[in-house]
Amino acid sequence: MSDLIERSLQRVLALQVRLYACQARLGGFTDAEALHDLRITLRQLRSLLRPMRGLATVDALEQAAAVLGRLTGPLRDREVLMAELERMGLSRLLAFDQEAHAGAFAAVASSRELAELIALLDSWPVAWREAARRGQLRSVSKRIQRRLRRQQAQLAQALRDPAHDRHRLRLLIKRVRYAGETYPLQSGLDRAALARLKRAQSALGDWHDHLQWLAQS
């Protein structure tokens, strides 16, 4: 088994452990960062899997992570708004209380979407090793490199377009950044480039938050 195939397996297992921890924290409503950490874990899992789409065992796992990400997106938007209102001393304007928030966290922890993702993660190592044994993962590094370069080309094209869609641009930047952090050798991006992507993502993230708040108000 190649180093890349083995490292991918180890990364997925590490992310699975983090996912279990996030599930416990959400169910117990232990801290304010549980949902955020869950979504970061999902993002890292998808960044690992997305460039390998089409390979055996990958697609179902990546899709399950995407479904859970969409489920938790509105709750995260609400969480960010709660923190901002509290920071401004305007918590009286909150249309929801801590009890409702805890209930929403618990619902995510016990959701069918999370249970399905965990079940896929449980069975994934055996399937991944079997795919490697059968030769289905040949040239995986070249496949990843081609797809990351394609993502970078899409981002470069979007940046040159003065009428670019900010939602799509934010998504492209996130994909290129997280893929670059996950696959530094295949992406060809250095630390300076990743730092610039992180700053751009942060700026567009602030824009996205304000847009969400305006829509809710």
The 10s digit of each residue's pLDDT in 37-56 is 999 999 999 999 999 988 86
64, burial (CB in 10 Å: exposed 0-12, middle 13-18, buried 19+): buried
Say what the pLDDT of residue 37 is: 96
189 pLDDT above the threshold of 70:
yes
pLDDT digits (tens, 9 = 90+) for 120-160: 999 999 999 998 888 888 888 899 999 999 999 999 999 99
CA-CA-CA-CA torsion for 94, 95, 101, 105, nearest 10 degrees?
-120
For position 14, what pLDDT does the model report?
95
User: Distance between CA atoms of 52 and 147, rounded to whole angstroms?
Assistant: 8
Task: Check residue 96 and give its pLDDT.
Answer: 67
Spatial contact of 6 and 141, defined as CB atoms under 8 Å apart: no
Q: pTM here?
A: 0.89
Give 114's contacts (C-beta < 8 A, 6+ positions apart).
23, 68, 108
